[in-house]
Amino acid sequence: MKKAEVFIDGKKSVDLPILTDTMENQALDIRALRQQTGLITYDPGFGNTGSCQSQICYLDGEKGILRYRGYAIEDLVEHCDFIEVAYLLIHGYLPNKKERERYSQLLNRHSLLHADMQSFFRRYPENSHPMSILAAMVVSLSAFYQIDLEEDPELQIDLTVTRLMSKLRTIAAFSYRKMKGFDFVNPSHTYSYCANFLNMMFSSPVVPYEPNPIHVKAMNKLLILHADHEQNCSTTAVRLVGSSEANLYAAISAGICALWGPRHGGANQAVIDMLEQIHNSGENLSKVIERAKDKNDPFRLMGFGHRVYKTYDPRAMIAKKTCEEVLSAMGTSDPLLDIAEELEGVALEDDYFKEKNLYPNVDFYTGIIFRAMGIPTNMYTVMFALGRLPGWIAHWLEWHHDPFERIGRPRQLYMGPAVRVVPPINERE
Ligand code: SDX
C-alpha cells in the first residue's frame, strides 16, 4: 500500500495510507490524522474530499466521461429506457426482458397515491412552487406508507424503493394538475413510465389525448441523463440524512430540497428564465457575457460551469443533440435554442470562460426540451428530481448496506470569540 509521510514543523509526524480506486484515482486516507497529529483537514465545499467509496457512478471531469455502473451515458441513452437505467442503478445490473417487465408491473401496481394524501394538494396556494409540494409529499409518504423494520427489513426497504420510484411520478404530475386547477388523472396500467407521466400531466376529458412518442422518447433520454452523478450536492444530502438512520422517504425529501437551489438542479429553470430575459430584452450577447464576468454583478451564466467537469459536460452534448432532434421532429423551432447556441459560442471563445474551464452543463439545454414538451418552467427541477431519484435511492442503499458506515459529522475551525462571562441584562449595552 502506497503511503504519504506528513511532516509538521519539519518533524515527521505520521504516515498516511494512499488508497487507489478502480480507475487509478488516488486518495489520502486521513481517518487517523486527528488521533495521530491533533490536526483536522479544512476543505469548505468538499472540493478535495472523498466522502465514501462507491460503485455506482464514475465521472472523469477532465475527459468528460460519465458512466453508471460502468456503462457509458452515451450507450445508455442509445440502448435503454429510463426504467432499465433505474433498475441498473438500484440493483447493480441491467434487467433482462423478464425482469424489466416484472419491474414495470410492480411500478404500476404502486403508482396510486392514498386518497387522503390527494387532499393535501388542494390546501396549497395556487402559486406554490411544485418543488415545495414534492418535498413535503415525499416525507409525508412515511406517514401513509410506514416502514416497519421489525418485519423483514430488506423486504420493507424494497417495497419503499418501489413505492418511491412510482409515487414520485404521480406526485409530480398531481402538483402540475393542482397548479392548473385541473382534476387529477390517475396512472394507467396501459402506459409505460414516461407515457404514463405525460398522460397524467396533459390528458383531458374534453379533447382526445395520446402521449406524443417524440416526447416519450425525449423524456426517457432526459431522465437517464439526470439519473445519477456520484457525490453531487443533493446526493450528499441524501447520504448525510440517511447516515442518521432517518428513513428513506426523509432522506429523499432532503435530496429534493438540496436539488431545488439554482446552483444545483434549480439551474435548469434559471437557464430558461435567463434565455427568455435575453430574448425579450434583445440584450447583446457580448454584454450578457460581460455581466457574467463582472465580479460586482451577481449575474452568472446559468447552465455554465461545474465543480467536476472542466470540459464539456457529456450530458449537455446529448441534451443539445436531443433538443435539435425533438424540435425538428416536431417541425418547429424555438428562438431560445438559437440564443442558447449563440451564447455558448460567444462564451467558449471568451478568455474568462476558457481560463476557468466553464462549459455548458446538464442544465443548459434540457429546459428547452421540457419547454417543447409543454412542461412549464417551474416544473423543470421536478423533472430533474424524477430523473435523479434512482441515483439517490442507489446511494442511500449503498450507505445502508455498508458495514463500515458511520453518521456523517464534519469538524470545523472555530473563529468566534474565545471565552466571555455573561453580564447581567441591565449591564448590557
Ligand atoms: C448541477 O455536482 C454535480 O454533479 C451537479 C450536477 C448533477 O448532476 O448533480 O451536475 C447538476 O448542479 C449542474 C450545475 C448547475 N448550476 C449552474 O449552472 C449555476 C451556474 N454555475 C455555477 O454557479 C457554478 O459553476 C457551480 C455552482 C456549478 C460550480 O461552482 P464551484 O465549483 O464552487 O465553482 P466556483 O463558484 O468556485 O467558480 C469558479 C470560478 C469563480 O470565479 P473566481 O472566483 O475563480 O474568479 O468560476 C466562476 C466563479 O465566479 N464561475 C462562473 C460561473 N461558474 C463559475 N462565472 C460566471 N458564470 C458561471 N456560471
pLDDT at 1 over 90: no
Position 178 confidence tier, pLDDT thresholds 50, 70, 90:
very high
Segment 119-144, tens digit of pLDDT = 999 999 989 999 999 999 999 999 99
pLDDT confidence of residue 4 = 95
> Measured in whole angstroms, how far is the alpha carbon of residue 145 from the centre of its chain?
24
pTM: 0.97
Cα 305 to ligand 1 centroid, rounded to whole Å: 4
Whose CA is closest to atom 30 on ligand 1?
307
User: Distance between CA atoms of 403 and 262, rounded to whole angstroms?
Assistant: 35
Whose CA is closest to atom 38 on ligand 1?
305
What's the mean pLDDT when you consider all of the chain?
A: 96
Segment 319-359, tens digit of pLDDT = 999 999 999 999 999 999 999 999 999 999 999 999 999 99
Whose CA is closest to atom 48 on ligand 1?
356
Cα 307 to ligand 1 centroid, rounded to whole Å: 6
Residue (of 413, 426, 428) closest to 41 by Cα position? 413
Position 185 confidence tier, pLDDT thresholds 50, 70, 90:
very high
Positions annotated as catalytic residues are 306, 363
Position 276 confidence tier, pLDDT thresholds 50, 70, 90:
very high
Cα 359 to ligand 1 centroid, rounded to whole Å: 10
Segment 389-411, tens digit of pLDDT = 999 999 999 999 999 999 999 99
Position 152 confidence tier, pLDDT thresholds 50, 70, 90:
confident
pLDDT confidence of residue 281 = 97
245's grid cell: 438512520
Position 77 confidence tier, pLDDT thresholds 50, 70, 90:
very high
pLDDT confidence of residue 12 = 84
Position 203 confidence tier, pLDDT thresholds 50, 70, 90:
very high
Cα–Cα distances (Å) from 426 to 251, 417, 422, 423, 429, in that order, read 46, 22, 11, 8, 8
Ligand 1 pocket mutation pick from 49, 288, 358 by most atoms within 8 angstroms of CB: 358
Cα 204 to ligand 1 centroid, rounded to whole Å: 41
pLDDT at 148 over 90: no
The closest-lying atom of ligand 1 relative to the alpha carbon of residue 232 is 2
Whose CA is closest to atom 46 on ligand 1?
295
User: Distance between CA atoms of 33 and 42, rounded to whole angstroms?
Assistant: 12
pLDDT confidence of residue 150 = 78
Segment 14-64, tens digit of pLDDT = 999 999 999 999 999 999 999 999 999 999 999 999 999 999 999 999 999
Per the document, the length of the chain is 429
Report whether 371 contacts 334 (CB < 8 A): yes
pLDDT at 89 over 80: yes
Helices 193-202, 153-180: crossing angle, 10 deg rounding: 30
Share of the chain above pLDDT 70, in %: 100
| DSSP character at residue 378 | G
Cα–Cα distances (Å) from 329 to 217, 226, 312, 369, in that order, read 12, 23, 25, 12
Q: List all residues whose CB is within 6 A of at least one atom of ligand 1.
A: 45, 229, 232-233, 263-265, 267, 292, 300-308, 356, 358, 361-363
Least confident piece of the model among 73-87, 149-163, 354-368: 149-163
Position 247 confidence tier, pLDDT thresholds 50, 70, 90:
very high
**CA-CA-CA-CA dihedral for 241, 252, 396, 314, to nearest 10:** -120
